Structure 1
Amino acid sequence: MLMFDFDIERILLTLPGILLALSFHEFAHALASDRLGDPTPRAQGRLTLNPLPHIDFIGFMLLIFAGFGWARPVSVDSRYYKNPRRDKVIVSAAGPAMNLFLAAVFAVFLKILVVYGEKTSMSVTLFGTVASMFLYTININLVLFLFNLLPIPPLDGFHILAEIIPPRRYKIIYILQQYSTIILIIIVITPIVSFIIRPPIRFIFSALMRLLNMPMFI
């Protein structure tokens, strides 16, 4: 449900994670398309980890203050792909896959922090601040990973579905496109998405913690 939050401490702790998650997500789309022969992302300056080319100001502000927003989509030209259907799936999946990868990387960073903190005289305040930033970054990336896989236009999950669904089932694609605005409004004003993605977020987070032999922070 769309709710504005002006908690300055939370904003400062989540800002690095949001910038990383959005930048790496869009960079992954650009890199995948570039490697598959499409020069469009490189020509438009999107083959970079610099957040500025990837940030949509309004979407970024909403993401910080309301928990729902967007980045600038990477433009691609599938005419350059050798196998358009397969390659479009790869490009669409690259962004969410990158977010899952980042969540795993920061889980490792969190493990290192815990081990380092136990062996040194790191202050409780510093440890708590850095641990909170890492936890927020993990959570943000897991949210983007799962949210973007929802089969709703214009999310990555819809583009993946559109390429893998049999032609005889294309009616589903047309229906989703026709009602995409209504679906997105429902997502924004109701907690329905939380009910869908929160259980798998907890499952993946728990799996990462168990894999790294870490205590459950959340």
Structure 2
Amino acid sequence: MEQLTLVQIIAVAILPVLFAITLHEVAHGWVAQWLGDDTAARLGRLSVNPIHHIDPLGTVLIPGLLLLLKAGFLFGWAKPVPVDFNRLRHPKRDMALVALAGPLANLFMAIVWALLIRLAILIDLPYASVPLALMGQLGISVNIVLMLINLIPIPPLDGGRVAVGLLPYQLAVPFSRLEPYGFLILLALMFTNSLSLLLGLPMRVLHGLLLGLAGL
């Protein structure tokens, strides 16, 4: 997308980014409700309307800066959907299922964007298919990045909550105490290039599979 102007990049990116971040959070709330906690539903946070989930920093500023700086990837977050784990039927197990719902939602959206690219190729109408194909490629990339980063087993990332849910109690409790330091650990991984080394291979494999599904 190097040939596009900044305005065109923003126009192409806005829907994939909003959907990727918003539906990731809504998926947590949907699964929590299914497992017994209706906190998000009672607070009106199960809506797919992005306005209900926008975080000024994570949904607007960070993705916007990454676009302006041409960082080569997009990342962000929405306001977390509230989940009361004590209201879940099986709190320890269900916490892992609620956490896993977000990354799985991103995988689902990446597949949907791949199918939309294939549709765009079939339509072959320049004014519709080209923007849709560009949007789809960005949608695949954003959702893969969000899914893989969130699966890293560091609390409070989703992967960390899954790990807490799966570990035996005597290990889960001390592991969960890493949560206040999770963001600092993630930043350290980013600045030392460890994050790229960790996620590079699965990102390339998933990207290749989804582009193949898209017919590219």
TM-score tier after normalising by the smaller chain length? 0.7 to 0.9
Aligned residue type for 2:33: D
> Which residue of the partner structure matches residue 79 of structure 2?
72
Q: 1:55 to 1:178 in 2, by over 3 A?
A: closer
> Which residue of the partner structure matches residue 105 of structure 2?
98
Give 3-state SS (helix, strand or coil) of 2:47's partner: coil
Shift of 1:17: 0.4
Identical pairs, percent = 33
Moved over 4 A (4+): none
TM-score normalised by length of structure 2: 0.85
Aligned Cα root-mean-square deviation (Å): 2.2
Shift of 1:174: 5.2
Contact 2:106/2:144 (8 A) holds in 1: yes
Contact 1:46/1:74 (8 A) holds in 2: yes
Q: 1:10 to 1:191 in 2, by over 3 A?
A: farther
Greater mean deviation of Cα atoms: 162-171 or 36-45: 162-171
Superposed CA deviations along residues 92-113 of structure 1, whole A, max 9, x for unmatched, are 0001100000101111111111
Shift of 1:188: 4.7
Residue pairs, 1:35-74, within 5 angstroms = 35-60=34-59, 61-66=61-66, 67-74=74-81
Q: 1:178 to 1:137 in 2, by over 3 A?
A: closer
Partner residue of 2:141 out of 139, 142, 153: 139
Unmatched 5+ residue regions in structure 1? 1-5
> Which residue of the partner structure matches residue 114 of structure 1?
121
> Which residue of the partner structure matches residue 153 of structure 1?
155
Q: 1:131 to 1:181 in 2, by over 3 A?
A: closer
Shift of 1:213: 7.0
> Which residue of the partner structure matches residue 208 of structure 2?
206
Inter-partner Cα distance in structure 2 for 1:213 and 1:13: 18
Aligned length: 204
Inter-partner Cα distance in structure 1 for 2:173 and 2:96: 19
Contact 2:153/2:160 (8 A) holds in 1: yes
Superposed CA deviations along residues 122-181 of structure 1, whole A, max 9, x for unmatched, are 22x653322111100111111111111111222111111111012343476156336424
Inter-partner Cα distance in structure 2 for 1:174 and 1:92: 14
Shift of 1:185: 2.7
Unmatched 5+ residue regions in structure 2? 67-73
Contact 1:88/1:160 (8 A) holds in 2: yes
Aligned residue type for 2:136: F
Inter-partner Cα distance in structure 1 for 2:178 and 2:56: 27
Inter-partner Cα distance in structure 2 for 1:181 and 1:132: 31
> Which residue of the partner structure matches residue 34 of structure 1?
33
Inter-partner Cα distance in structure 2 for 1:28 and 1:179: 25
Q: 1:47 to 1:181 in 2, by over 3 A?
A: closer
TM-score normalised by length of structure 1: 0.84
Q: 1:166 to 1:24 in 2, by over 3 A?
A: same
> Which residue of the partner structure matches residue 169 of structure 1?
171
> Which residue of the partner structure matches residue 3 of structure 1?
none
Inter-partner Cα distance in structure 1 for 2:206 and 2:29: 26
Greater mean deviation of Cα atoms: 159-168 or 191-200: 191-200
Shift of 1:45: 1.1
Contact 1:68/1:188 (8 A) holds in 2: no
